Amino acid sequence: MTTNSIHGMWSSRLMFILAASGSAVGLGNIWRFPYVAGENGGGAFVMVYLVCIFLIGIPIMVSEIIIGRSARKSPINAMAAAASKSAVSMKWQLVGWMGVVAGFMILSFYAVIAGWVLSYVFQLGSGVFTDSSSELAEGIFSNFVGNVWEVLAWFTIFLVSTILITARGVSSGLEVAVKYLMPILFCLLIALVIYSATTSGHFMEGANFLFSLNFEKLTWNSILVAMGQAFFTLSLGMGAIMAYGAYMPKDASVIGTATTIALMDTGVALMSGLVIFPLVFANGLESAAGPGLMFITLPLAFGQMAGGQLFGCIFFVLVAFAAITSAISLIEPAIAWIVEKQKTSRHTAALTVGGCVWLLGLGSVFSTNIWSDVFIFDDMTFLDSMDYFTNNIILPLGGIFIAVFAGWVLSNKILDNELMHDGRYYPIWKFLCRFIAPVGVSVVFIMALLQGK
Ligand code: TRP
């Protein structure tokens, strides 16, 4: 069995945890979780999301790590290697291909939202939000996203930074970002929760919205969205964690590591919700405001607090870093594959991938301005459609394949070897992977399809 990857290795188990949490914690937690929870009625949605994290997400994360680590190659080649070692069809590597395509699609809109975040660093720093009203904050947001050149410029800056970091390799750069910036982000979020709890006057209303179960609002489509959010937030279903798993040291418990990552990620998402919803209610905003939610509530709050201009600016800088450590993992599978296949340098590979993502991303750049009335599915713009299609369809589908592959196909020799530090959790993982994850995802798919939107 190979022990090292040609792309380099994480220096320790902790480094893997940091890198994988860097991938998991991102816009999905701070921007997407609150707004999809808001659009889908809160409490019951959040519960379904949590169930999906634990019963489906963690087992699939473990599967991705096992497959990646046993092969020490990019997801496409890791799937091929694992299939050949288990003596099954090489078609399984199509799962790796699907993941590469999904990564391009996700990054193409992810980088646009991250561009919004970058621009907000400067908007907050400039003090335009000081003592602003909700109308003003809403106005600033819609003016900004309506300006095609500005959105394009910030999107490009974000994507170029991602490409530059990725080109340098997995450990330099990334290690620093996750080791120092993530803990600071965590602390700032805690401070914001406390601020929201003590000053908004609507903390309980916000907490109730997030945690009280009202099942009337729960449709099969919102269950699908909750499940999609669980995949998205844990970076599952497209090989990102598989790619990172390939650089993970051998002597670490896989299930324990995956659970740690999932708990951290969930903690950040719930905290973001606890910051944002009290502010929504305190300022008479709409909980179902959609993708702009974070860009309106947070600047408002920073505008009202002492020192908010500085804190707001720092907060958005940290969110931008969280986004970049996630963005890197979205293209790592493609880049690692190109390096393995073409024997080209990481630089060339990163540049090629970046160029493709930039072109595709133009559709999302235009979605809030010149193409704001171009709808692809139903009433969804290009950006919304990319987001909906990747998160709710491709990732869960990739997840089913990965779970079935790890649970039913992968040889016992590989499993025993990879899970030797996991003792009594091994059978539980196997059960969830074989039955609960594939059946759960399939049922949600079928019901959502039957029920329509
Ligand atoms: N999990 C990241 C977030 O929450 C986004 C992300 C990074 C991702 N890599 C991924 C999502 C792979 C799906 C698949 O912001």
- The string of pLDDT tens digits covering residues 44-88 is 999 999 999 999 999 999 999 999 999 999 999 999 999 999 999
Euclidean distance between CA atoms 331 and 107, whole angstroms: 8
Q: How far is the CA of 112 from the centre of ligand 1 (A)?
A: 14
Cβ–Cβ under 8 Å, residues 174 and 325? yes
Tell me how far the alpha carbon of residue 97 lies from the centroid of ligand 1, in angstroms.
17
- Determine which residue's CA is closest to atom 14 belonging to ligand 1: 235
Integer CA distances (angstroms), 423 to 17, 59, 403, 408, 437, in order:
20, 15, 20, 19, 21
With tokens 């003590």, the residue in question is: 198
Report pLDDT digits (tens) over 278-301: 999 998 899 998 899 999 999 998
Tell me: pLDDT of 165 over 80.
yes
Q: In the predicted model, what is the mean pLDDT of residues 227-232?
A: 97
d(CA 411, CA 424): 19
- CA Rg, the chain, in Å? 21
Dihedral sign for Cα 228, 233, 236, 237, please.
positive
- The structure tokens listed for 32 are 């997407």
Give, using CA atoms, the residue closest to atom 13 of ligand 1. Answer: 235
3-class DSSP state of 130: coil
Distance CA 235, CA 123 (A): 29
CA distance 363 to 337: 26
pLDDT 10s digits, 381-417 = 999 999 999 999 999 999 999 999 999 999 999 999 9
Q: Residue 396 Cα, ligand 1 centroid: separation in angstroms?
A: 13
Give nearest CA residue, ligand 1 atom 7: 326
CB of 233 sitting under 6 A from ligand 1 = yes
Q: What is the pTM of this model?
A: 0.95
Query: Ligand 1 centroid to 87 CA: how many Å?
Result: 31
Say whether pLDDT at 168 is over 80: yes
In the DSSP assignment, the letter for residue 249 is -
The finding on whether 308 has its CB within 6 A of some atom of ligand 1 is no
CA of 234 to the centre of ligand 1 (A): 6
301-313 confidence digits (pLDDT tens):
899 888 889 989 9
